[in-house]
Amino acid sequence: FGSSSDSGRPIFNQISNSNSALELFSTLSIMADMTDATKRKEPETPAEAPKADAQTEGEPSAKKPRSAVKPVDPAVIKKQVEYYMSDENLRTDRFFNEKIASDKDGWLEMALILSCNKMKALRATQEDVVAALKDSKLELKDNGASVRRPGNAPLPKLEAKPQHHQKKTMHAHDGGVVVAFKNVPADKTWTMVKESLLKKLPAKVTPWFVSEVNDARQCFVAMPPFENDIQFFEGVEVELDDAKLKAEVCYGELLQSTLKSLPKHIRDKRERESKKRQKERNRPIMVGTQKFVNVGALRGKVKEIMNSRSDGEQLKPDGTDFKLVKALLGFHPKGEEKTKGMVGIKVAKSQQGDSRCFYMVKEGGAEEDVSVKKCIDAIELDPPYVKVEKKAAPEAEEKPAEKAEEKPAEKAAEKPAEEAAAATASA
């Protein structure tokens, strides 16, 4: 309503001077149309048709090319497949063992080999495996569709796979081992379990607590800590008449639930012993000729050695870093076997991923990666503590004794001199 007419008078005044309601309504309608017209946008132009794809049939894609895939090392593939088919692996690998045993001629489908995580990480194909095994003793058939051991060698007897616990559970039994005996016969009691266990334990070692046999026919035992206690219980069996019950060291949820069921004074004992062991572990260790305040300091030094080298760089054989890593490899569970023929050590990218690791350079130029983590874990389980030699007694304490021994001798020497002086005087 604030707009002005051509005559210069406000439109509102023009409307107010009108004598007809019809004129008023017409004027208001015209003004509304004018206002809408100013608000409306220009009619939109028809949307442009999408541009034709520049790519025509047969032309390469416009997407960014992927980075070139690193070629697979045949030696790594050969080593991995031979390990899968070895006695060492098949002794504990139930799946492969049973698959091979189910085939009368001992063949294993290559697809099963390729489905393993390490083979997936290598991005190996069936053709890669065939090429890698051309000089291997393993046998192939149907262009590598199946593989078997040399001459269909007999399979090793299946054994229980050793338990490898994570670092966070490595010290779960510092305050004393907690074990479970399962499948206790219905007519047997906790006292029978205890009596049978006492016959197996080292001298002067007695259980802190033995639980009642629960509804699941389980009996739990809390032990005081003693040397190599975990290793001891991994091979213990108690005999209850005809029944043989194998001790099972508790971990995870089983351990937590068992600890909650223990009497408070037993839990307090475990806590005190655990703190004592932790304090004992925080002592200097010796690896090779180098001393470290604790295992954590050793781990930091190894990381520093690795990070300060570029990929493919060898450690200097006469350097302290080389000597430390070489000594560290001696703690590997298969250290003696792995380091045989080693003439050098280098840092390079791992074949199993994007991480870096140490490689042993063998005679003839062959290279083999090695897990330093396994070495440090072994040290943590059984630390090579620095031996503290007993100090000799201070010299100051020895002098009075020496003087005491000399006095009688001095007196004996003085007597002949006195006698000679007396004889001279009488003469």
* Mean pLDDT in residue range 366-376: 90
Q: Does the pLDDT at position 218 exceed 70?
A: yes
- The span from the CA of 186 to the CA of 217, in Å, is 7
Identify which has the larger pLDDT, 130 or 426: 130
Q: In this structure, are residues 287 and 379 in contact, taking their beta carbons and an 8 Å threshold?
A: yes
Q: Vertex 282, ends 281 and 284: CA angle to 5°?
A: 100
Q: Does the pLDDT at position 54 exceed 70?
A: no
Give the number of other CB atoms < 10 A from CB of residue 31. Answer: 14
Residue 196's alpha-carbon distances to 54, 169, 236, 238, in angstroms, are 84, 28, 11, 6
Output the pLDDT for position 174: 87
- In the chain, the percentage of residues whose pLDDT exceeds 70 is 71
- The span from the CA of 172 to the CA of 155, in Å, is 36
Output the pLDDT for position 45: 44
Identify which has the larger pLDDT, 351 or 287: 287
Antiparallel, parallel or unpaired: β 243-249 and 237-240: antiparallel
* Phi-psi region at 280: left, alpha or beta (left = phi > 0; alpha = psi -120 to 50): alpha
* Mean pLDDT in residue range 363-392: 84
Give which of 247, 226, 230 is closest to 169, Cα–Cα. 230
Output the pLDDT for position 68: 52
The predicted-structure confidence for 296-346, as pLDDT tens digits, reads as follows 899 999 999 999 999 899 999 999 999 999 999 999 988 888 899 999 999
Q: Does the pLDDT at position 58 exceed 50?
A: no
Count H helices and E strands in the chain, helices first. Answer: 18, 14
Q: Does the pLDDT at position 194 exceed 90?
A: yes
- The span from the CA of 184 to the CA of 188, in Å, is 7
Q: In this structure, are residues 218 and 189 in contact, taking their beta carbons and an 8 Å threshold?
A: no
Residue 273 structure tokens: 């012993």
Output the pLDDT for position 138: 95
Distance from chain centroid for Cα 215: 36
Output the pLDDT for position 227: 87
pLDDT tier at 26 (50, 70, 90 boundaries)? low
- The span from the CA of 375 to the CA of 304, in Å, is 16
Output the pLDDT for position 329: 94
Output the pLDDT for position 283: 86
Output the pLDDT for position 11: 46
The predicted-structure confidence for 66-75, as pLDDT tens digits, reads as follows 445 567 789 8
Output the pLDDT for position 390: 63
Give the number of other CB atoms < 10 A from CB of residue 201. Answer: 16
pLDDT tier at 7 (50, 70, 90 boundaries)? very low
Average pLDDT, the chain: 79
Q: Give buried/exposed letters for 395-427 (b at 16+ CB in 10 A, else e).
A: eeeeeeeeeeeeeeeeeeeeeeeeeeeeeeeee
Q: Does the pLDDT at position 224 exceed 70?
A: yes
Output the pLDDT for position 18: 43
Residue 108's alpha-carbon distances to 83, 100, 105, 243, 249, in angstroms, are 14, 6, 9, 38, 35
Output the pLDDT for position 211: 95
- The span from the CA of 144 to the CA of 137, in Å, is 14
Tell me the pTM.
0.47
Output the pLDDT for position 73: 84
* Mean pLDDT in residue range 237-262: 91
Top mean-pLDDT range of 46-55, 174-183, 227-236: 174-183
pLDDT tier at 28 (50, 70, 90 boundaries)? low
DSSP 181-228: E-S--TT--HHHHHHHHHTTSPTT---SEEPPP-TTS-EEEE----TT
Q: Where are the alpha helices (DSSP H) in 40-154?
A: 74-84, 87-90, 94-101, 110-114, 117-122, 126-132
pLDDT tier at 29 (50, 70, 90 boundaries)? low
Residue 244 structure tokens: 């043989």
Q: Vertex 310, ends 308 and 313: CA angle to 5°?
A: 105
Give which of 183, 188, 181, 221 is closest to 205, Cα–Cα. 221
Output the pLDDT for position 427: 42
Identify which has the larger pLDDT, 266 or 121: 266
Give which of 17, 167, 47, 155 is closest to 93, Cα–Cα. 155
- Cross-strand pairs, 141: 146
